[in-house]
Structure 1
């Protein structure tokens, strides 16, 4: 078990004896985190109507969450590096639960913004620490699958969380969604406190470690691959509804079905990616994934397509895209195993940066060249991601690893 130790008492079983059950529990926690993060995507209009605010103001809640997560997660993980993992996970979940409850009770949009910042801070401790636990406790030949299992909850939240949240918001009001997430988080708090061993610790990381990683060019470019790769996907995904509406003539039902098919590809791709990472290695897996994305994305310029062909294509596109996460996580852990918590927090933060960057780039392409240019432009970004991948791997092989950021 690299960079970790388990000091367990008699009331807590050693997690190494049955790590899969612990990973499943952490996956459930990440599902709740993901639902709180992504559910607002499907309820922007009912929230705007009920709050009397423009849709753009409500959409800003998503941007604030992403920025707060990216800014706070690496710092909070470093500050809590010497604290037992059970306490850190519990504190993060408690902050997240409190923020969801405050959101459900918020009298107006003014309180929702700081509540989203608090929610992002809590989530920014839970996801990276849970991934670091999986990386530390899993056998080396199963580490990719362990990471994909813990991350599965976050991908499943996009399949179930977004459509369920949307349906609840339109039927019972947007407050019911935040209230439900808060209620779902309560048993997660109990599970973490009773199932994660009290003495589970890792080699402590500090702000000095975070600073060392941020000063290391190989670590930064390796983390940057996440940003560039996801930016290519979200350049199209963010604007998929209007693209389908204008090219396929789809309305609410057609768009919803296509988004559901995309969502179904996410958890399946995540699990497939874990197996690829273990069998092929993270570098080879990511090269194949990038090439597949480069080939898939330009096909959006061929719309309209027969309905069945379109749905099959969207499913394959999603499946391939979400294969990337386990391999990327494994690459980061391999850079410097003792710094896995910091690297996982940077990876989780870079996911949200990539989403925001892709949406922004897509808007620029939309304004300058129109909807049909989104796919080809995204393919160029995917090609850039392949370049970043090759560059970072070559630098790592030359021995300029992220471990140099580790203090002696």
Structure 2
């Protein structure tokens, strides 16, 4: 039962991380700031998560896991309450940074606790249940949070997330025992794994993929509004994206087992890059009546392809050296959030200099660069295979 509360915490955190994309227009209007400036709430959150996760993991290495989860969720909830009270850009930005720090401490701790709570034959399922909280957040949490925010004001979304976090915290206090074993890697161990050439190529692939996706996703509501989408339509578009992402995640894992991680990852990146470039082309060259349906179809294809890449990428990282895969995957998660931050910043620059119809081809170019790194990594592995631990 304890693992369920960890999954609920992951659901709240996943909703928080991605829901700003759907609320961007209403926050921008309420705080009277530009869409590009509003997008920096995503950048700040993702950057704080990327930098905070390894630092906080090391800092709280010797603390009881239950206490760490309690602290992380309490901070996350308090930051959401601060967001509710925010009336200015700096205060809301500070609340987003604090949310990210709570999330950065909670998520990897929750995964470690799930492993500790489960019997050896159920550990894979326990980890999958926790991570499914984030997947379900993209399907349910983000569209629901967008709908609530547009219907009752954007602060209502933070009330919803704070309430979810509070329920998860109560569950952790009730269902997670004290004295669980800790397996957090030291900073030195993390740096040693990061220097492995295969891991370096993989991290570069992940960061370019994340930059490409969030250059567009952060500001997706802006071109949608230009096509006449209202709040309900934007929620529907995010529901389509989240549903396709969940399908892509399952499909990517299945195809990686059958055809291999690198070929599956390559196909996913190629499909995602194509969909993003076509998204820009559709926004620039077709009439609004026809573009609405084309854009939704491309959003669906982008999400399936982009999230089919991710489980294949995870599988390929594990194969580099199974002995250090936990550390490598932790580094990959931090790198992913770094990419989200850079993507949010890049999208803001595109909006300021070019326009919303240019987001797709800029994001697609980054994904194409990710594909190039992946193919180069595959070529290096064929020429000089890495020594995999037995």
Does TM-score exceed 0.5, indicating one fold? yes
The one of 278, 292, 305 equivalent to 1:320 is: 305
Cross-structure match for 1:9: none
Aligned pairs (5 A) from 1:122-271: 122-131=102-111, 143=124, 149-244=129-224, 250=229, 252=231, 254-271=233-250
Alignment partner of 1:386 is 2:371: yes
The one of 3, 7, 16 equivalent to 1:36 is: 16
Q: Distance in 1 between matches of 2:153 and 2:371?
A: 43
CA deviation map 1:170-218 (0-9, x unaligned): 4444333323322211221233344445444354411222332344443
Structure 1 pair 204–306 and aligned structure 2 pair: CA distance change class (3 A): closer
Contact 1:289 1:324 (C-alpha < 8 Å) held by counterparts: yes
Structure 1 pair 116–236 and aligned structure 2 pair: CA distance change class (3 A): closer
Cross-structure match for 1:116: 96
Q: Distance in 2 between matches of 1:77 and 1:182?
A: 23
The worse-fitting range, judged by mean Cα deviation, of 266-275 and 133-142 is: 133-142
Alignment partner of 1:284 is 2:263: yes
* TM-score with structure 1 setting the length: 0.76
Structure 1 pair 204–142 and aligned structure 2 pair: CA distance change class (3 A): closer
CA deviation map 1:16-39 (0-9, x unaligned): xxxxx6655433221101222333
Q: Distance in 1 between matches of 2:39 and 2:349?
A: 18
Contact 1:231 1:355 (C-alpha < 8 Å) held by counterparts: yes
Structure 1 pair 33–189 and aligned structure 2 pair: CA distance change class (3 A): same
SS of the residue corresponding to residue 181 of structure 2 reads: strand
Cross-structure match for 1:7: none
Q: C-alpha displacement at 1:222, in angstroms? A: 1.3
Cross-structure match for 2:337: 352
The one of 84, 89, 101 equivalent to 2:69 is: 89
Contact 1:289 1:321 (C-alpha < 8 Å) held by counterparts: yes
* TM-score with structure 2 setting the length: 0.79
Structure 1 pair 259–88 and aligned structure 2 pair: CA distance change class (3 A): same
Q: C-alpha displacement at 1:146, in angstroms? A: 6.5
Q: C-alpha displacement at 1:274, in angstroms? A: 3.3
Contact 1:243 1:371 (C-alpha < 8 Å) held by counterparts: yes
Structure 1 pair 225–201 and aligned structure 2 pair: CA distance change class (3 A): farther
Q: Distance in 1 between matches of 2:33 and 2:350?
A: 27
The worse-fitting range, judged by mean Cα deviation, of 146-155 and 205-214 is: 146-155
What root-mean-square deviation, in Å, do the aligned CA atoms of Structure 1 and Structure 2 show?
A: 3.8
Q: Distance in 1 between matches of 2:121 and 2:297?
A: 35
Q: Distance in 2 between matches of 1:290 and 1:55?
A: 28
Contact 1:132 1:340 (C-alpha < 8 Å) held by counterparts: no
Structure 1 pair 146–227 and aligned structure 2 pair: CA distance change class (3 A): farther
Q: Distance in 1 between matches of 2:358 and 2:95?
A: 37
Structure 2: which 5+ runs fail to align?
none
Task: Give the count of matched residue pairs.
Answer: 381
Contact 1:147 1:274 (C-alpha < 8 Å) held by counterparts: no
Contact 1:152 1:267 (C-alpha < 8 Å) held by counterparts: no
Q: C-alpha displacement at 1:41, in angstroms? A: 3.4
SS of the residue corresponding to residue 19 of structure 2 reads: helix
CA deviation map 1:290-313 (0-9, x unaligned): 232244333322453475555344
Q: Distance in 2 between matches of 1:107 and 1:365?
A: 27
